[in-house]
Amino acid sequence: MWWWRKVTRAKISPDLRKEFELYGETVIALAISNPDIPSGIGPVASLLRSNFSAARDWLSEQRDIHARREHRLETVEWAILIAVIVGVLADLAIVTHETGVWPK
């Protein structure tokens, strides 16, 4: 739909994407936000040293995906609400017609 958030795909290799997904959003976000992690040792530090901007782009993509999912869920909730309201109004019309309140 036109109001759903557009997902901006990160231009990264599939192998790098798999590696980011292996560690997850939380670990990558914490590692980016902590200035000591990229200068340290370990697999996450070495990954971020060479792919810092790719990690930021991947996190932005993940944020867009989550926002789009929330927009889809809100659209479904509104559709259900409208269907329930229409159903209640139809039931009220039937009841008023059967009781004679509504003109025949």
Per-residue pLDDT of the chain (104 residues; tens, 9 = 90+): 566 667 778 889 899 999 999 999 999 998 888 877 767 788 888 888 888 889 999 999 999 889 889 989 999 999 999 999 999 999 999 998 888 876 66
3-state helix, strand, coil in the chain (%, to 5): 75, 0, 25
By the 8 A CB rule, do 52 and 35 touch? no
SS3 6: coil
Q: What is the pTM of this model?
A: 0.73
* CA dihedral (41, 44, 45, 50) positive or negative: positive
- Counting other chains too, the contacts that 69-74 makes at CB distance below 8 Å and 24 or more residues apart are 71/1, 71/3, 71/4, 71/5, 72/4
**Three-state DSSP class for residue 31:** helix
* CA 55/CA 11 separation, integer angstroms: 11
